[in-house]
Amino acid sequence: MYGAFSTTTSSGQARESDGTDRKDSPINPKKEQTVKQTTTELHQKLQACRSLEELQVLCESAEELRTDLEGTRLVFGTGHPEADLMLIGEAPGAQEDKEGVPFVGRGGQLQNKILEATGLPRSHVYIANILKHRPPDNRDPKPEERERSLPYLLRQIELVNPKIVLCIGLVSATTLLGRKSALKDLRGSFFPFHGRELAVTYHPAALLRNPNFKRPTWEDMKRIRERYDELGGKPSAEKELPA
């Protein structure tokens, strides 16, 4: 369900494609140059954004961030602009699309309780998603949607400059780590990520479906809070974590 980026074609399509590639030139220099130029231009635009506010303005006009659901609003991000812990979810849902804020539905309410329990309230962290627009029917983000959104998210992470990036769910984790893995194999570790550390835990929606995930999620959050303090995270609510 949450695989790494992949595409699948039938054998007939593959044979037809191979024949076409051999007949035409395998590389179109003009097209390759256009792609490189577009990538360079986007990089320059992103680097020109010196604040989250400027990046949000750029995202507002970025058609490539939209999904195939019409009429959605941008769900950019929310929280402390200099947070030392940044949460990255999957994509906005109906309630998030309505309010323009990530993690405000049932899952978001549960995530708030989890954060409060660790002494890191929502106001102390920063929250964003892989996608900044809602996909239809709450489906998983398509590989091409994640690929188009990633440069904007990476710049957003740079501007917040957290010590720890916490991936909420497998879609977020596989997108940022760029590899296919099971969530159980990613939990419990801190991965190097652009000069920061990246951790992975369950999405609150998974906890709502299966309460058995609550205990391992709590273990993850205790571990993350401990590492947060070790890295010199900004002081937060003094709270002794229960076992």
User: pLDDT tens digits for 2-26?
Assistant: 333 333 333 333 323 333 333 333 4
User: Kindly report the CA angle at 56 between 55 and 59, in degrees rounded to 5?
Assistant: 90
Q: What is the pTM of this model?
A: 0.82
Neighbours of 16 (CB within 10 A): 12
Write down the pLDDT at residue 38: 75
User: With b meaning 16 or more CB within 10 Å and e meaning fewer, what string describes 82-113?
Assistant: ebbbbbbbbbbbebbbeeebbbbbebbebbbe
Write down the pLDDT at residue 165: 99
What mean pLDDT is reported for the chain?
86
pLDDT digits (tens, 9 = 90+) for 167-191: 999 999 999 999 999 999 999 999 9
The stretch 130-151 carries a mean pLDDT of 95
Neighbours of 197 (CB within 10 A): 18
pLDDT digits (tens, 9 = 90+) for 85-128: 999 999 999 999 999 999 999 999 999 999 999 999 999 999 99
pLDDT confidence bin for 235, thresholds 50/70/90? confident
The stretch 191-220 carries a mean pLDDT of 97
Question: What are φ and ψ of residue 236, in 5° steps?
Answer: -130, -170
Residue 57 structure tokens = 């303005």
Write down the pLDDT at residue 242: 54
Residue of higher predicted confidence among 21 and 159: 159
> Which single residue is written with the structure tokens 């994509």?
91
Sheet-wide strand order for 164-168: 78-79, 126-129, 85-89, 164-168, 196-201, 191-193
Write down the pLDDT at residue 240: 52
**DSSP H or E stretch at residue 150:** helix 143-160
Residue 71's SS3 state is coil
Residue 118 structure tokens = 């660790």
Structural domains of the chain, with CATH: 29-230 (3.40.470.10)
Residue of higher predicted confidence among 26 and 140: 140
pLDDT digits (tens, 9 = 90+) for 57-88: 999 999 999 998 999 999 999 999 999 999 99
Write down the pLDDT at residue 198: 99
Give the integer Cα–Cα distance in Å for 193 and 195. 6
